[in-house]
Amino acid sequence: MATAARQSLKIGLVPADGIGKEVIPAARRAIEALGSDIPKPEFHDLVAGFEHFTRSGTALPEETVRALREDCDAALFGAVSSPSRKVTGYTSPIVALRKELDLYANIRPVVSVSADPRGKPSIDMVVVRENTECLYVKQETMIHTETGREARATRLITERASRRIGKMAFEIALKRPRKLVTIIHKSNVLSVTDGLFRETVRGVPKLPEVAGRYDNVTIAEQIVDSAVYRLFREPEIYDVMVAPNLYGDILSDAAAALVGSLGLVPSINAGDHFVMGEPVHGSAPDIEGKGIANPIAAIRSAALMLRHLGYEKGADRVDNAVNSVLREGQFATPDLGGKSTTAEVLDAILKRI
């Protein structure tokens, strides 16, 4: 997304549930610390989430969607506490926001930070996940048969969605040294749905409108179960992984385990006209309110959001500050084996910004 000439940068803040209310304010302070490297930030405090649903009966107020559409250039979303049981009237606000704002790509870089700043990270990949369909269309039915209940779910894969997530993956690969896209699928079993995804993504470089643009990008593919195996055995083989919604969700969380914690891994939900940063760690109710949530994923998500908007210098300052804190190892929250608080880690990062 190209940088627009802006006097201000209007950012919607949707902390939502759990530790989202602790890490999104930390990300805001990191953005504010950048000064003149970005347009003056203006923040819009917005509500959504399961906690809001329990109070109001609405998980995603229309006012929040309208504000993001009409008043904001970008957004940061915290975390959502989606119950594992069916709750009548409730649907995940983050899934709904992705659809409402057509944020069709979930982009999750997973990078290990070397203790030696001159050393290359052993893990440096990006999981590009289609964000709007697959099983997450949530078309489920329950019927009663003579032998008991029978549950069914519709899985949707379209050529349009597969093509544009493929384009996003190839564009990301173009900017990386290895320029390798690995298509993740299970078309040996799901020959129709995954077959369409695989075929469409492979066909992206042949589209007339991109003629020759991706000639230097190598295409590989991997069956999803063997991809998980190789992710843990040989993570260095991957560069850009592109996957349907469910596979991408699982792979990106699994990849986070390789770098120490979900509390380190950022993401953005991106479309052609809007971007929303989102740490991948969830609402973490077991540590909510204790002041020990890791703010790094949210701060990195803010940097990723800024980078997608074209503010490379500001994003670099944030990422470099986070990497310095990680390398030094003096400040670490409990998820990384340390005893630091959210505030202590944030202060250390702000000093380096």
CATH number reported for the structural domain that contains residue 106 in this entry = 3.40.718.10
Q: Tally the domains of the chain.
A: 2
CB 92 within 8 A of CB 152: no
pLDDT at position 2 is 47
Q: Which of 21, 186, 194, 247 is catalytic?
A: 186
Q: Which of 239, 249, 319, 335 is catalytic?
A: 249
CA-wise closest residue to 112 among 338, 336, 315: 336
Tell me which of 258, 288, 318 is where a domain ends. 258
CA-wise closest residue to 351 among 322, 315, 327, 316: 322
Domain co-membership, 15 together with 68: yes
* Residue range(s) defining the domain that contains residue 275: 1-110+262-353
pLDDT at position 256 is 86
Q: Which of 17, 21, 104, 136 is catalytic?
A: 136
Domain co-membership, 150 together with 175: yes
- What tens-digit pLDDT sequence spans the chain (353 residues)? 545 467 899 999 999 999 999 999 999 999 999 999 999 999 999 999 999 999 999 999 999 999 999 999 999 999 998 787 888 889 889 989 999 999 999 999 999 886 555 555 678 999 999 999 999 888 899 999 999 999 999 999 999 999 999 999 999 999 999 999 999 999 999 999 999 999 999 999 999 999 999 999 999 999 999 999 999 999 999 999 999 999 999 998 889 888 888 899 999 999 999 999 999 898 999 999 999 999 999 999 999 999 999 999 999 999 999 999 999 989 999 999 999 999 999 999 999 99
Domain co-membership, 340 together with 269: yes
Instruction: Determine the Cα–Cα distance for residues 279 and 26; give it in Å rounded to an integer.
Output: 12
| Annotated catalytic residue 90 | no
Domain co-membership, 296 together with 193: no
pLDDT at position 219 is 98
Give domain status of residue 335, yes or no: yes
Q: Which residues, at least 6 apart from 133, have a Cβ–Cβ distance to it below 8 Å?
A: 156, 157, 158, 161, 244, 245
Domain co-membership, 11 together with 102: yes
Domain co-membership, 190 together with 129: yes
Distance of CA 246 to the CA centre of its chain: 13
pLDDT at position 116 is 54
Domain co-membership, 254 together with 273: no
Give domain status of residue 118, yes or no: no
Q: What's the Cα-to-Cα distance from 203 to each of 179, 180, 183, 196, 263, rounded to whole Å?
A: 17, 15, 12, 10, 36
Give domain status of residue 23, yes or no: yes
Give domain status of residue 11, yes or no: yes
Give domain status of residue 115, yes or no: no
Q: Rg for the chain (alpha carbons), in Å? A: 20
Instruction: Determine the Cα–Cα distance for residues 311 and 326; give it in Å rounded to an integer.
Output: 23
Domain co-membership, 344 together with 251: no
Tell me which of 197, 225, 258 is where a domain ends. 258
Classify residue 151 by burial, with Cβ atoms within 10 Å: 0-12, 13-18, 19+. Answer: exposed
pLDDT at position 262 is 86
Tell me which of 224, 258, 292 is where a domain ends. 258
Domain co-membership, 214 together with 274: no
| Other Cβ atoms within 10 Å of 262 Cβ, number | 18
| Annotated catalytic residue 73 | no
Domain co-membership, 105 together with 131: no
Instruction: Determine the Cα–Cα distance for residues 98 and 299; give it in Å rounded to an integer.
Output: 20
Secondary structure (DSSP) of 22-63 = HHHHHHHHHHHTTGGGSPEEEEEE---SHHHHHHHS-SS-HH
Pairing mode of beta strands 240-243, 268-270: unpaired
CB 162 within 8 A of CB 104: no
Domain co-membership, 243 together with 326: no
Give domain status of residue 116, yes or no: no
Give domain status of residue 287, yes or no: yes
Classify residue 226 by burial, with Cβ atoms within 10 Å: 0-12, 13-18, 19+. Answer: exposed
CB 204 within 8 A of CB 162: no
> Biggest alpha carbon distance in the chain?
68
Q: Which of 225, 229, 272, 313 is catalytic?
A: 225
Q: Which of 102, 253, 316, 347 is catalytic?
A: 253
Distance of CA 217 to the CA centre of its chain: 23
| Annotated catalytic residue 249 | yes
How large is the angle between the packed helices 296-309 and 342-352, nearest 10 degrees? Answer: 40
Domain co-membership, 132 together with 253: yes
Residue with tokens 């040989």: 234
| Other Cβ atoms within 10 Å of 248 Cβ, number | 25
Give domain status of residue 219, yes or no: yes
